[in-house]
A and B are shown apart, each in its own frame.
Chain A
Amino acid sequence: MKYRSLDIGVIGGGLLGSAFAYGFSQRGLNVGLIDEGDNAVRTARGNFGLVWVQGKGKGMREYAQWSLKSANAWSTFSNDLFDLTGTGVDYHRPGGFHISVDEAELEEHVAMLEQLRSEAGEEGYDYELVQGQTLAQHLPGIGEQVPGATYCPHDGHVNPLRLLRALQEGFDRNGGSYLPLLGIDRIEPLNSGGFELFSKGRRVAGCEKLVIAAGHGSITLGNQVGIDVPIHPEQGQIVVTERSAESLAYPTNLVRQTDEGGFMLGPSARDVGFDADTNTGTLQEIVRRCSTAFPYLRGLHIQRSWAALRIMTPDGFPVYSQSEEFPGAFAFSCHSGVTLAAVHAKDVCQWVLDGAIPSAYRCFGSERFDVSAAN
């Protein structure tokens, strides 16, 4: 493969990297998207597909606003993608329900939303508690044991695999260079401000600006340009049923019905390191909860299940950093790469081009975990 000279090099072809690469290519830049491949941990290929606002950002108001901002930009974002590529991503935004399967859960969840509401102050926080007949009208077939659910009008869902494909197609249409099967193992900052990228001792590309978005691979890459990326894996499992006639009009935290008719059930959360295998106990628990919510699911066959590894930060909020030592280098990691795809392609790309993360968003820097800074 020949050496590429790029304006911007993006390392990592997952949901973050692909959104950035697409965003830069929309601005006519010479962008390279470099991806390691199937032997890397690839979260973008195993997620649940929610574009979700409700319940996010307790303790960090900026993250709640950031999620809402992205959700509000999603419709235009997906339309633009469709116009460019012809690939629809099945984005719908009827609002979403967070279902609690027992009283204790409901109480805890409502308390959390009330906390978010109080943190939002005058700006307000949109959600309502829905119970009994009203709930059954919106979610026909909801289990009798379900004490209630909360509805947030800003929530939606999407086909995440189509999203990944559309972003990469769009990037390709715009003339971007996709460099697959290329694990970057060495970054060499240049005196001129640019970077040289190496794979297995080979110099593969040079770029003026560098965006590290390699999911779990970002830690070691970030270190090489002086950026601390404090992330760890959190395993999530998902169960998919056979396709079935449309019966669930809203996405929920537990179950959503895809445009093809299948139900996705999930997602669990376990701390098991880099283990991406499913286990029976967890799958049973997913099915138990989801069929408590919708007993009719018991009549459907399970078609497949899988596990994937979330990219979690210590507080669950994104980590967006720029290198102090080499200001052309940025590293971005977050859990909700589907939800935030719209702002990643738009706002975050602009930060990189402007050469700095705006002060309003510095709260997402990894310095917040720095003990000495907190004192």
Chain B
Amino acid sequence: MFQQRTDFSDPVTLSFEGREIMANRGDTLAAALLGCGIFDFRRAVVSNTPRAPFCMIGNCYECLVEVEGKGLVQACLTEVVEGMRVNMGSPRKPVASGNDSADV
């Protein structure tokens, strides 16, 4: 579907699920991951099927990934940063016990 990126003029290194990947400074995280052939951003909450970016403009929330230190973010609205550690998005589970991770 996409051409593998090779033109890293202003490179940044980051990792996805422990795998090292390259991107250009200024790329969105979604573009960077897709450019490296990563299409499995997260699993759907209900059906557990793979999910990838759909709109690339912040509307659909299909592109959620987990950035270490930041939590769940929309990859299409997040710029890559040197050394960023990214994992597949796992849905926040609302905890019934009351000690909810109130991060908003």
Which residues in A have some Cβ–Cβ distance to B below 8 Å?
A: 140-141, 144, 242-247, 259-261, 294-301, 303
Per-residue CB proximity of B20-45 to A under 8 Å, as 1/0? Answer: 00000000000000000000000011
Would you call A243 and B61 a contact (CB within 8 A)? yes
Per-residue CB proximity of B50-69 to A under 8 Å, as 1/0? Answer: 00000000000100100000
Chain B contacts for A260, CB-based, 8 A: 45-46
Q: How far is the CA of A351 from the CA of B40 in the complex (A)?
A: 53
Would you call B101 and A299 a contact (CB within 8 A)? yes
Q: How far is the CA of A309 from the CA of B61 in the complex (A)?
A: 27
Query: Who on chain B is nearest to A257 by CB?
Result: B94
* A247: contacting residue among B72, B96, B104, CB under 8 A: B96
**A242-B92, A244-B92 in contact; A295/B98 too (CB < 8 A)?**
yes
Chain A contacts for B93, CB-based, 8 A: 244-245, 247
Which residues in B have some Cβ–Cβ distance to A below 8 Å?
A: 44-46, 61, 64, 72, 91-98, 100-104
Chain A contacts for B46, CB-based, 8 A: 243, 246, 259-261
Closest 4 CB pairs of A and B: A141-B96, A140-B96, A296-B94, A261-B45
Question: DSSP majority for the A interface?
Answer: loop
Would you call A243 and B101 a contact (CB within 8 A)? no
Would you call A244 and B95 a contact (CB within 8 A)? no
Q: How far is the CA of A298 from the CA of B98 in the complex (A)?
A: 11
Query: Who on chain B is nearest to A263 by CB?
Result: B94
Q: How far is the CA of A193 from the CA of B96 in the complex (A)?
A: 62
Q: How far is the CA of A259 from the CA of B102 in the complex (A)?
A: 24
CB-defined A-B contacts under 8 Å, sample of 7: A141-B95, A141-B98, A261-B45, A261-B91, A298-B104, A299-B100, A300-B104
Query: Who on chain B is nearest to A304 by CB?
Result: B59
* B92: contacting residue among A259, A294, A300, CB under 8 A: A300
Would you call A299 and B91 a contact (CB within 8 A)? no
* B102: contacting residue among A141, A245, A247, A299, CB under 8 A: A299
Query: Who on chain A is nearest to B64 by CB?
Result: A242
Chain B contacts for A259, CB-based, 8 A: 46
Would you call A296 and B104 a contact (CB within 8 A)? no
Query: Who on chain B is nearest to A299 by CB?
Result: B100
A361–chain B nearest beta-carbon distance, Å: 40
Chain B contacts for A303, CB-based, 8 A: 61
Would you call B91 and A247 a contact (CB within 8 A)? no
B104–chain A nearest beta-carbon distance, Å: 6
B58–chain A nearest beta-carbon distance, Å: 10
**A244-B45, A259-B46, A261-B45 in contact; A299/B61 too (CB < 8 A)?**
no
A210–chain B nearest beta-carbon distance, Å: 40
**A259-B46, A295-B100 in contact; A300/B94 too (CB < 8 A)?**
yes
Q: Other than the known A244-B45, A300-B94, what 9 A-B pairs have Cβ atoms closer than 8 Å?
A: A141-B97, A244-B92, A245-B92, A246-B46, A296-B94, A297-B94, A299-B92, A299-B102, A303-B61
Chain B contacts for A246, CB-based, 8 A: 45-46
Q: How far is the CA of A298 from the CA of B102 in the complex (A)?
A: 6
Q: How far is the CA of A260 from the CA of B91 in the complex (A)?
A: 12
Q: How far is the CA of A259 from the CA of B100 in the complex (A)?
A: 22
Would you call B45 and A243 a contact (CB within 8 A)? yes
Would you call B61 and A245 a contact (CB within 8 A)? no
